[in-house]
Homo-oligomer: A and B are copies of this chain.
């Protein structure tokens, strides 16, 4: 603890030697931390996957103020072990199936270490040419792996940039689209701009729209249905746009998703882009989760039609083994981005920028400062290579299918929507026998099927053995089982299904006992 450490180092006359940056001490402490993390991975299954702490737990364990005297790395690591690790939900655990994976990897980690070690601030080419040039190169590499149209690559006058998250990528492209329209209709007409998405679109878009000053009344949400697997309907989109145009509003932006958060639904790019093109709208394709697997030829068809879009993004930190944060954004028209996001203060002026021979990525993103993120993506691509990367992704799909088979083999359960990638949406079936009660003259189940599934999730998660999350679509509470953690193997899927079955047994038996 801080206060104890304080006293110790005071008693010892403050002999804790923590220089700001001494190569040999850096080496010693760096090796200790590598060992700490390697041991963490080795023992990761010993921890409950979902943290079991209560709100406010850490305040009771840490001092109320920063220490006055230095503390040793040994003390700090011991505090991390004792006080931080119990408060972590272990996204790197092989038994983690929540949200979407945050797929770390050795290569991603080493790349991040190198970026942190160099600690350059690559806002423009000049400030560290390698940071900019490597980014442009790997974005072309990855774009080619995805078979993106050449118009999205630097080699075809488009280009790619690494953002922190998809939220930023969406906001940047939305602002570019907004300003493109405002240059035509005038800044006074910002209140007329309309944007479109589906009811399955990630909440990041609503937030981006809010930040960009789009009038709250002009945020259109196209409803989806189970019968079309929650994908966006181009006809309803077109009808909605026509209504807006008739009302003298100006459609500017469509967000289409490949792999929605709730059910991994896929919006049909070809017809959607066709509609958008009629109205000269910007189409952004958010493939945050599912984009990665399109490097496998048999999955590439999911982004067919991307050639009709203006921009495309995926999160390499989600399912591409590149530690948080690393969102890959490609645009066809970089000038549209830079017209909105450029700054040119005197203190950043330099001959390279003036020569127009270089990319200054500060003008492709929200912030000025930027980390050397391309290093980790480069290390992932090189350490594993295309073949092995495809293999990792396919193994996750295979494990998801294995899990799906388990679900389908148990008549108490059902798959809610067909699996597209490596996330299984399932639940306890709605037609299992349930206790009933009479209420307002109606016979209805005492516990709704949604409540039972919610109970199952809580019960499983509280056990700490595996971790899953949920969603509700079309009124259906579903359990999401997202395979993709880097340490997960077949045996973890088998065991996960056992855990789920055991907890379902208890919950369903309890209900039956009540019945008797």
> A453 on the interface (CB 8 Å rule)?
no
In the complex, per-residue mask of A79-90: 1 if CB is within 8 Å of any chain B CB, else 0: 010011111111
- Chain A positions 37-63 with a Cβ under 8 Å from a chain B Cβ: 37-42, 51, 53, 55-59, 62
> A121 on the interface (CB 8 Å rule)?
yes
> A436 on the interface (CB 8 Å rule)?
no
Please judge, given known A-B contacts A67-B381, A121-B102, whether A164 and B26 are in contact too, CB under 8 Å.
no
Smallest CB–CB gap between A103 and chain B, Å? 8
- Chain A positions 325-343 with a Cβ under 8 Å from a chain B Cβ: 325, 340-341, 343
Residues of B contacting A408 with CB < 8 Å?
A: none
Partner of A80, one of B112, B114, B352: B114
Please judge, given known A-B contacts A65-B141, A102-B120, whether A38 and B24 are in contact too, CB under 8 Å.
yes
Among listed A210-218, A248-256, A266-274, interface-contacting one: A210-218
Partner of A347, one of B9, B262, B384, B387: B262
Chain B: CB-nearest residue to A125: B55
In the complex, per-residue mask of A463-490: 1 if CB is within 8 Å of any chain B CB, else 0: 0000001111000000010000011000
- Chain A positions 167-197 with a Cβ under 8 Å from a chain B Cβ: 167-168, 171, 175, 178-179, 187-188, 190-191
- Most chain B CB within 10 A, of A33, A210, A487, is at A33
User: Main SS of chain A's interface residues?
Assistant: helix
In the bound complex, CA of A187 to CA of B190 (Å) = 11
Are B133 and A352 closer than 8 Å at their CB atoms? Answer: no
In the bound complex, CA of A472 to CA of B113 (Å) = 36
> A95 on the interface (CB 8 Å rule)?
no
Among listed A201-209, A492-500, A505-513, interface-contacting one: A201-209
Are A387 and B109 closer than 8 Å at their CB atoms? Answer: no
Residues of B contacting A19 with CB < 8 Å?
A: 106
> A305 on the interface (CB 8 Å rule)?
no
Tally A residues with Cβ within 8 Å of B: 159
In the bound complex, CA of A80 to CA of B375 (Å) = 9
In the bound complex, CA of A121 to CA of B116 (Å) = 19
Among listed A227-235, A239-247, A363-371, interface-contacting one: A363-371
Residues of B contacting A40 with CB < 8 Å?
A: 117-118
In the bound complex, CA of A33 to CA of B37 (Å) = 14
Partner of A190, one of B29, B35, B213, B345: B213
Among listed A69-77, A277-285, A413-421, A439-447, interface-contacting one: A69-77
> A402 on the interface (CB 8 Å rule)?
no
Residues of B contacting A164 with CB < 8 Å?
A: 164, 367, 369
> A261 on the interface (CB 8 Å rule)?
yes
Please judge, given known A-B contacts A26-B38, A27-B35, A37-B30, whether A58 and B340 are in contact too, CB under 8 Å.
no
Residues of B contacting A386 with CB < 8 Å?
A: 66-68
In the bound complex, CA of A68 to CA of B381 (Å) = 9
Please judge, given known A-B contacts A129-B87, A352-B55, A355-B55, whether A261 and B345 are in contact too, CB under 8 Å.
yes
Smallest CB–CB gap between A201 and chain B, Å? 10
Partner of A371, one of B67, B133, B324, B375: B324
Please judge, given known A-B contacts A119-B102, A213-B190, A379-B76, whether A325 and B59 are in contact too, CB under 8 Å.
no
Chain B: CB-nearest residue to A76: B382
> A220 on the interface (CB 8 Å rule)?
no
Partner of A213, one of B165, B213, B261: B213
Chain B: CB-nearest residue to A94: B21
> A427 on the interface (CB 8 Å rule)?
no
In the bound complex, CA of A504 to CA of B106 (Å) = 49
> A223 on the interface (CB 8 Å rule)?
no
The 9 A-B residue pairs whose C-beta atoms are closest, nearest first, are: A213-B213, A87-B130, A30-B34, A37-B117, A58-B133, A27-B38, A203-B343, A167-B367, A23-B42
Selected A-B contacts with CB under 8 Å, 7 pairs: A55-B355, A58-B134, A87-B134, A88-B130, A175-B211, A190-B213, A204-B368
Given contacts A6-B385, A30-B37, A116-B324, 8 further A-B contacts (CB under 8 A): A55-B352, A58-B133, A68-B386, A70-B382, A92-B118, A119-B323, A165-B369, A167-B368
